Structure 1
């Protein structure tokens, strides 16, 4: 992937399969059993499975990657390591739950949905983070769990806050260092591992917390 480009997140559930969350396509471009806008997977018949009106999809690893590179998101990293990662969407200080719990959440959401996709408040990284940690943010009006989304907001904010420092710090390197520090601290403050407005929500109760209804089984 390109440096600082938006990356797609998913949850590996075994058997070369990944459950992930993406924007729901219009009815004219999708079907109840898969994504008809893309070529059918030649290897796995169930690749592309999704429920109607849901953006949660089951894909094989090859179709998920689409010739891209595979990266492993890190959970339970220390604060010092988190602050050294300039790019968002690579790690969190929150620890991951046991594998079977993670897979249970992902498969439950494959059948019941994860609400409406929103690039800032409910995106693919939010989905993966919830499956791995079970954490949900109480403030529905703020930025979501995604560190990529917070990075998009943190970068211009850090640049804006540090701009007056150009009058006090004549060295461009010094200004850049301060700006980078503000950017990293802003990302750290929105990480689900350090936020105080997060709660552990059972996946069976997630629909109530997201304000959605379970998808009707076809």
Structure 2
């Protein structure tokens, strides 16, 4: 068990040339300036005191397509943790840039200006096609994936199609904003659904439970750390086997998303 842990540390420290070329600062932050955004980018903004992030697809002209809870779902408390924008309040005063949001909540997928999406927070860029070593070194879940992105044209096609048709019923655990954005980028769906940040939260719960229920020792800490890393990696949509590459029209309809 010790050898496995130290092997992981060694791989992080002594990566291949491709991995060494990846920006080390990306391990600490994925912040991006608005001027650097390109249509088709998957962006996110931290919510709930950095516990959860809201995700969307930048479509150009300062606009973002994203998947959020319907107002009635928020009022009834159907979701434990809301990844919807808490500051994106439905009010009687429409945003001068993106208009009346009340009329856009019929299917949960909405078009907002980037100011409403970020809502005073910091903009981040979700990373695709990262190595598994980089993925594990990026301790915070829901910020990158080993899966590769499709071309921007395909991403924008899916996002705009789903803006009209919807992405099914919002569920923070099985069908949330991160699942929506990753689908737009990759056309990949997990059977039953589960986003990277949800997987990371569950892995963290497992780590804490393991540490609390086992007699404290270096061996127990190492084993729990390895289990945490394994749980996160095997839950990534670019690694797991229970994924479906779904065409935006036919298969999404069959799966009940539209």
TM above 0.5, one fold? Answer: yes
- Counterpart of 1:15 in structure 2 is 61
CA apart distance, 1:161:
3.5
C-alpha distance in 1 between matches for 2:208 and 2:245: 34
TM value normalised by structure 2: 0.69
1:43 paired to 2:74: no
State the secondary structure of the residue aligned to 2:244.
strand
C-alpha distance in 2 between matches for 1:68 and 1:118: 23
Matched length: 199
Identify the match of residue 124 of structure 2 among 60, 64, 71.
Answer: 71
1:134 paired to 2:187: yes
- Counterpart of 2:40 in structure 1 is none
1:62 paired to 2:115: yes
CA apart distance, 1:179:
2.8
Q: List aligned pairs for 1:1-218, cutoff 5 A.
A: 1=46, 4-26=50-72, 36-37=90-91, 39-45=93-99, 50=104, 52=106, 54-137=107-190, 139-140=191-192, 144-163=193-212, 165-167=214-216, 169=217, 171=218, 175-212=220-257, 214=258
Q: 1:88, 1:148 within 8 Å by CA — same for their partners in 2?
A: yes
| Residue segments in structure 1 that go unaligned for 5+ positions in a row | 30-34
State the secondary structure of the residue aligned to 1:37.
coil
CA apart distance, 1:113:
0.3
Q: 1:165, 1:175 within 8 Å by CA — same for their partners in 2?
A: yes
Q: 2:94, 2:100 within 8 Å by CA — same for their partners in 1?
A: no
TM value normalised by structure 1: 0.81
Q: 2:98, 2:111 within 8 Å by CA — same for their partners in 1?
A: no
Greater Cα offset, 39-48 or 8-17: 39-48
| Residue segments in structure 2 that go unaligned for 5+ positions in a row | 1-45, 76-88
C-alpha distance in 1 between matches for 2:168 and 2:252: 8
CA apart distance, 1:108:
0.2
CA apart distance, 1:176:
4.2
Greater Cα offset, 57-66 or 40-49: 40-49
C-alpha distance in 2 between matches for 1:47 and 1:12: 17
C-alpha distance in 2 between matches for 1:21 and 1:99: 19
Q: 1:51, 1:110 within 8 Å by CA — same for their partners in 2?
A: no
CA apart distance, 1:4:
4.8
CA apart distance, 1:152:
1.6
